[in-house]
Amino acid sequence: MLLLGALAILRSVVSANAFEPAINYQLHCQGCHLADGRATPDLVPAIDPTLGRMMRVPEGRDYLVRLPNVAAAQIDAADTAALLNWLLARFAAHDLPEGFDPISADEVLAGRTAPLVDVAGARAAVLRRVSEPSP
Ligand code: HEC
């Protein structure tokens, strides 16, 4: 009986969490990135499949967690990691590398210690790395 109760609680926690990234996106990201991640010209870039391609190299993961508004998000590291993995699945699923290892809370914590200053430069460097032939 006790076990069944524990399982029910666990299930409700798991299903409650399943909605959290979408809500966190609304609360912390959507004001700038809009509901569908589209660009606002000259202000905010689109969240699009390019991001999935960028996850093929370690520098791309690093870029994602060090983005200023990601590194400064007022949610804990585990929820931020869940949000980023949700974001990648929602906007860039087809371009994610095979066997993509989800972004972890530890990576988010590391990113928070060193937010990007030159976002455009870091992005260009990641895209250069992605287009290099693999060794
Ligand atoms: C205050 C506006 C604002 C908020 C809030 C915001 N962003 Fe951004 N985001 C930007 C801008 C502007 C850029 C372009 C890079 C830069 O200047 O920081 C960007 C860039 C990005 C990119 C890079 C896209 C690419 O292809 O290089 C991602 C991914 C992203 N944001 C995710 C998020 C997530 C996740 C959140 C919520 C935790 C968030 N952003 C909150 C404004 C915002």
Q: Is the CB of 31 under 6 A from ligand 1?
A: yes
- Sequence-distant (≥ 6) Cβ neighbours of residue 92 within 8 angstroms: 47, 48, 49, 50, 51, 52, 53, 55
Determine which residue's CA is closest to atom 5 belonging to ligand 1: 29
Round to whole Å and give the CA distance between 9 and 120: 45
Ligand 1 neighbourhood includes 61 CB (under 6 angstroms): no
Class of residue 48 by CB neighbours under 10 A (exposed 0-12, middle 13-18, buried 19+): middle
State the Cα–Cα distance between residues 93 and 133, nearest whole angstrom: 22
Ranges 1-5, 9-13, 91-95, most confident: 91-95
- Res 8 pLDDT > 70: no
Q: In whole numbers, what is the pLDDT of the chain averaged over residues?
A: 91
Give residue 49 CA to ligand 1 midpoint distance, Å: 14
- For ligand 1, atom 15, the nearest C-alpha belongs to 119
Q: What is the pLDDT of residue 2?
A: 62
pLDDT value at position 15?
46
